[in-house]
Structure 1
Amino acid sequence: MTTIHLTTIINAQIETVFNNSRNIDLHQQSASQTHEKAIAGRITGLIEKGETVTWKGKHFGFYIQHQSIITEMDFPTYFVDKQLKGHFKSFKHQHLFEEKNGTTIMQDILQYETPFGWFGKLFDYFFLKKHLIAFLLYRNEILKNKK
C-alpha cells in the first residue's frame, strides 16, 4: 500500500476550505488538466456523506472512470472518500482540516493499492505516485486561491 501525505496552509476560514474541498464544480476546475468531469451521482455542488460521484478523466493517455463515496464526514474538520469502482485495488482519501491563527491547515492522506502484482508496484513507483502528488498539489493550489 502506498501513502501520500500532504499538508497545505490556506489563508481562509476552516468552513470555507472544507466546503471548497468537497465542491464538485471546483474539483472539475482544478482537474482541468486531466479533463476530469463528474458524470454520475453528485455531479455539481457540495457532496455529502453517503453520496457518490463518478469521475471520468484522462490519465496516462487513457480515459478512465473512478466512482467514490463519502464514507465519513464531520463538518468542518474531516471527510473521507473511498473508491467503489475503478482501477485501484483499494483507494481511500482522508481530508483533515484544522484552524490555527486565522489560517486553515489542510491535510490530504491518500492510501491506495495498485492491482497487477509486481507490475502494478513498478508502475506506482515510477509513474503513479508522482502523478497523484502533482494532481493533488495542483488541486491544492486552486483551493488556496479560492476564498
Structure 2
Amino acid sequence: MIYQYNTEHLLPISIEQAWDFFSSAKNLSKITPPEMSFKILTDLSDQEVYEGMLIDYTVRPVLGIPLPWQTEIFKVNKPYFFSDRQLKGPYKIWEHTHSFVQMENGVLVKDEVKYELPLGVLGDIAHSVFVKKKVESIFKFRELALNRLFPLAGI
C-alpha cells in the first residue's frame, strides 16, 4: 500500500532564504532527529540540488541499525520546489516533494511524502505499529528545529 504524508509550516523568511536552506542537502542533518544518526556520505561541496543529483547517506531509523540510503533529485523548479526519490534504502518507494510558497508574512514550506514499505502485508503491519508514528515524529522534530533556526528572522 502506498501511504502519503503532508505537512505545511510557515517560516518568517523569504522564498529565496527557504530555497537556499532546503536545497543544500548539508542542512538536512540540522532538521533530522539526532537519534537517527543521519550522515551524508556524498561530498556535496555546498552544491545546490539539481536534477539527477545522487546523495548517499546512512541513517538509523529503527533499533539503531545503520541502513544505507541513496536519493536522486528528479525534479527541480527553483525556487518553488524540488523532489527526491529513494533509489536504495529501507522503503520500497519514497518520494518527497519540498515546495515553497511566498506568503505575505513569510514562506509556506510544504512537504509531501509518498512511501511504500517492502514485505507486503508485513510492511503494512509495521506501518500501523510504528512507521507512521516515526514519519510523523521526524516531521514534528523538523518543525521544532526550523522554529529554532528561523525564530523571528526578517524577510
- Give TM-score, length-normalised by structure 2: 0.87
What SS does the aligned partner of 2:60 have?
Answer: strand
| 1:109 Cα deviation after fit | 0.4
Query: Aligned pair count?
Result: 147
Match of 2:105 in 1: 102
Q: Which moved more, 1:34-43 or 1:78-87?
A: 34-43
Structure 1 residues 98 and 74: alpha-carbon distance in aligned structure 2, compared to 1, 3 A threshold: same
**Higher normalized strand content (fraction of residues):** 1
Match of 2:51 in 1: 49
Residues 27 and 139, structure 1, Cα contact 8 Å, conserved in 2: no
Amino acid at match of 2:11: I
Residues 42 and 51, structure 1, Cα contact 8 Å, conserved in 2: no
Amino acid at match of 1:100: M
| 1:44 Cα deviation after fit | 5.0
- Report the identity percentage: 19
Structure 1 residues 44 and 129: alpha-carbon distance in aligned structure 2, compared to 1, 3 A threshold: farther
Rounded to whole Å, the distance in 2 between the matches of 1:55 and 1:21 is: 16
Residues 43 and 53, structure 1, Cα contact 8 Å, conserved in 2: no
5+ residue gaps, structure 2, are: none
| 1:43 Cα deviation after fit | 6.9
Amino acid at match of 1:80: S
Give a deviation string over 1:38-90, Cα, whole Å, max 9, x none: 01363754332221111101111111111001100111111000011112111
Residues 20 and 143, structure 1, Cα contact 8 Å, conserved in 2: no
Structure 1 residues 41 and 68: alpha-carbon distance in aligned structure 2, compared to 1, 3 A threshold: farther
5+ residue gaps, structure 1, are: none
Residues 17 and 143, structure 1, Cα contact 8 Å, conserved in 2: no
- Give TM-score, length-normalised by structure 1: 0.91
Report whether the alignment pairs 1:88 with 2:88: no
| 1:22 Cα deviation after fit | 2.3
Match of 2:39 in 1: 37
Amino acid at match of 1:138: F
